[in-house]
Structure 1
Amino acid sequence: MVPEEARRRVPEPAKDSGYGRSAYERDRARVLHSAAFRRLAAKTQVHTAGTDDFLRTRLTHSLEVAQIAREMGARLGCDPDVVDTAGLAHDLGHPPFGHNGEAALDLLAGGCGGFEGNAQTLRVLTRLEAKVLAPDGTSAGLNLTRAALDATGKYPWPRRPGQRKFGVYADDRPVFDWLRAGAPADGRRCLEAQVMDWADDVAYSVHDVEDGVHSGYVALRPLLVDPAERAALCADVAATYSGESAADLAPVLVDLLAEPALAGLADYDGSHRAQAGLKATTSLLTGRFVAAAVAATQARYGPGPHRRYAADLVVPRRARAQCALLKGIALRYVMRRPGAEARYARQREVLAELVAALVRRAPEGLDPVFAPLWRAAADDPARLRVVIDQVASLTDPAAVAWHHRLTGRPGAGPAVGHPLDTDRT
């Protein structure tokens, strides 16, 4: 008897491949081998993909999130393949140009319910990615188990007035309702989703600072010597990443900067010794944030094992505040670099012009995967959603190439981050 959490929406015949893999190991393999996962290699993380041999892309970020989530989940008693799959899959729905592209597509998709990267991830996993067909011939996406799909859901609720983040579009409600069967009705996330979310926070906060220091965008010395600069950073963080006031964050920042490994990066010169120190700092901070959450969760709920809805992840206030401050460093010194806004604006123009061109030229202008979906769409909002799906699937360079081919106009130049990139999820 297959447990409910290990069921797939479209039943599949038993496989005897000789590997003896579990259902969750199969889930992980399906994400790892998917086209959507490969495309993350050319999608913006903070710095535009391909602009530096050192810097991260959405693909490397997703691999790092999966590794952190797997180790943290295993220590708590979660199935490691479920949290690993969630980490690999969590960014599959992100469009070209990072959160700048996400904000642009949300405006362009107003006629069909908007755009949100996490809702798009669900759509990719359950509809757009080619792997399994339902009995009626429609795509079931990767047909992951209920547990794996639930673990990818950072925001398990539909769009709500005044709320920017959500996890499901209206026409994906049937599969959403199926995967959430038996889950609390209040939108509570399973433990595996909470583990993945904290792993995501830890990965991008620590690694964005690492990338920023290495690339020369982040200089820590002003924060070490200038109280006004520290106050300005705390104000940025209070306004974007934290519910705490700047005054409450100030002593946390002082303690964080007093960490010898972090303070030692003030004189970073790119040498082999300096790079080794930078990696040591990254490892130290990552381990500290993970250990704090594991210890606090076990202190509240016992040693475990814990999984699904038997416990909630407990992240101590200090660890969450330090993580937010690291995000703020990347925001202030990388994503808000002077002179970048013109390029961000051009990226948004490229997406707007590309969507408009495809609306005019569909279905002929669409890929073979999307053209039949456009023809089968019942109305204009449904056809617009297909166009948005097509554009969201593109990598950064592919979006520029498609735009140039369809409009004859030059594309968007490289940029880093974006002022709206304050959630980074």
Structure 2
Amino acid sequence: MPVCLPLPEPSERNLPQPDGEPYGSRTGYSTHDVERYVPESAKNPQRTPFERDRARVLHSSALRRLGAKTQVLGPAADDFVRTRLTHSLEVAQVGRALGQALGCDPDLVDAACLSHDLGHPPYGHNGEKALDRVADGIGGFEGNAQTVRILTRLEPKALDPAGRPVGLNLTRASLDAVAKYPWAKGAGPDEGQNHDRTYRVKFGVYDSDLEVFDWMRQGVPGTRRCVEAQVMDLSDDVAYSVHDVEDAVALGRMDPARLRRPGEVEELVEDTRTWYGTEVSADALGSAWERLVSQPYWIGSYSGSVADAARLKNLTSELIGRFVSAVAQATRDDAGQGPLTRHEADLVIPQDTAEEILVLKGAAVRYVMAPREQEPVYLRQRTIIFDLAEVLMEGDGSVLDPSLRPAWEEAADDAGRLRVVVDQIASLTDTSARSWHARLCGMFSEVPA
């Protein structure tokens, strides 16, 4: 694991500073960074603004709901599987370690990592695709944009002077650290700037939320991401790639011994490129896989025994340490010492590390995600979302959560009401989506989705 820089003492770190003066001489953060959209006075001056941000996310209802939302396999699939909540906790642990090694405020990174999946709807990416179809005429649905909407509008915590909800009212720096795709739909980097096709189709804010988003991005050039957001994004990839492979092995969906069969690795590489794009060559991905399996901690088989379970858990720890150490060292070599915060530095991910993470993500696709794409359960999940959208739009808003009814009543047209319906469905868990569907539509109530 990387060697973390010593953190300043609490008395020197993030205590409030007089207006107009730097936030902290050794923190790398300014008073501009810790401003809130609606100004607040600190009730406890011993708590830093970023500690308050982390606490607000940790105690939010949106975070609690992730405990019953699909990560890769549904929460009802097995007691062992990870949910969106456990995944978010693991991302936060990875992010905190990497952030501390770079001098980022650990509570800020923690808050961003805990928040990164708040906007995901029930049924994981399958649900996200279904809601995007439902919202096609009003700007679509995007989990990252929904996260910003939750943090700045939907999660009940703070109000502006006119009584309008402003979500958790996090600091500017914490909100920016959640912005994985800091641009509106269609405004992301083009192919000449970034060859990753994901960055050309993803976005991080709906047009209706641009006011607070623009406030958050004050002083930031173009679509540049802050280093804390880059740490969050990489930590998500590391946790996803490593832990989903762990789940796949533990649940018998990925047999390590099978990967020694002729042609199996070649097929894994091709599946990776089919799912994630062909920017990385097959040879590079094959070499990345060979580097991973040649490590002394790689497991060659798995029987489910206590000894094998311990080796599997050690594999996940070693892989996380391998990736975090490589990125921390490369970033330090490029940017030097001292706190690397906000827009003063960029994360450096060695090409070998990026390829190793990508091929592990490909393994999760091949052995877990892709085989489920044609399962009847996926169709049932999409049907539940489509049915709910239809029945809620046909209603008068009375069955919506009380917190959403005012927005329904204030909506000027069907487009405005549809966005409220999308907010409602996105807030549901896998369990409550089935329950709502059984109550309002009367079908599939007995079939786990």
Q: TM-score range by the shorter chain?
A: over 0.9
TM-score by length of 2: 0.88
Instruction: Show the counterpart of 1:53.
Output: 79
Contact 1:48/1:414 (CA < 8 Å) preserved in 2? no
- The CA deviation at 1:14 is 2.9
- Structure 2 distance, partners of 1:385, 1:338, is 29
| Residue 134 (structure 1) aligned to one of 153, 160, 173 | 160
One-letter code aligned to 2:97: E
- State the SS of the aligned residue for 1:267: coil
Gaps of 5+ in 1: 416-425
Specify whether residues 349 and 412 from structure 1 end up closer, same or farther in structure 2 by C-alpha distance, changes over 3 A only: farther
Gaps of 5+ in 2: 1-18, 24-30, 188-196
Contact 1:132/1:142 (CA < 8 Å) preserved in 2? yes
Specify whether residues 269 and 340 from structure 1 end up closer, same or farther in structure 2 by C-alpha distance, changes over 3 A only: farther
- Structure 2 distance, partners of 1:159, 1:315, is 26
Specify whether residues 338 and 382 from structure 1 end up closer, same or farther in structure 2 by C-alpha distance, changes over 3 A only: closer
Specify whether residues 267 and 412 from structure 1 end up closer, same or farther in structure 2 by C-alpha distance, changes over 3 A only: farther
| Residue 239 (structure 1) aligned to one of 266, 269, 274 | 274
| Residue 183 (structure 1) aligned to one of 220, 226, 231 | 220
One-letter code aligned to 2:433: A
Instruction: Show the counterpart of 1:378.
Output: 412
- Structure 1 distance, partners of 2:255, 2:155, is 41
RMSD: 1.5
Matches within 5 A, 1:300-311: 300-311=334-345
Instruction: Show the counterpart of 1:365.
Output: 399
- The CA deviation at 1:411 is 4.5
- The CA deviation at 1:403 is 0.7
- State the SS of the aligned residue for 2:224: coil
| Residue 430 (structure 2) aligned to one of 360, 371, 396 | 396
Contact 1:108/1:352 (CA < 8 Å) preserved in 2? yes
- The CA deviation at 1:278 is 0.6
- Structure 2 distance, partners of 1:411, 1:240, is 33
- Deviating 4+ runs (over 3 angstroms): 411-415
Instruction: Show the counterpart of 1:216.
Output: 252
- Structure 1 distance, partners of 2:180, 2:396, is 33
TM-score by length of 1: 0.93
Matches within 5 A, 1:204-353: 204-226=240-262, 228-241=263-276, 243-262=279-298, 264=299, 266-337=300-371, 340-353=374-387
Instruction: Show the counterpart of 1:116.
Output: 142
- Structure 1 distance, partners of 2:447, 2:140, is 26
Contact 2:84/2:117 (CA < 8 Å) preserved in 1? yes
- Structure 2 distance, partners of 1:338, 1:372, is 39
- The CA deviation at 1:236 is 1.4
Instruction: Show the counterpart of 1:68.
Output: 94
- Is 32-41 or 152-161 further displaced after alignment? 152-161
Please identify which structure carries the higher helix content: 1
Contact 2:69/2:429 (CA < 8 Å) preserved in 1? yes
One-letter code aligned to 2:42: A
Specify whether residues 139 and 292 from structure 1 end up closer, same or farther in structure 2 by C-alpha distance, changes over 3 A only: same
| Residue 64 (structure 2) aligned to one of 20, 35, 38 | 38
Percent identity, please.
Answer: 53
- State the SS of the aligned residue for 1:56: coil
| Residue 12 (structure 1) aligned to one of 40, 56, 60 | 40
Contact 1:224/1:257 (CA < 8 Å) preserved in 2? no
Instruction: Show the counterpart of 2:390.
Output: 356
- Is 161-170 or 62-71 further displaced after alignment? 161-170
- State the SS of the aligned residue for 1:5: coil
Contact 2:89/2:114 (CA < 8 Å) preserved in 1? yes
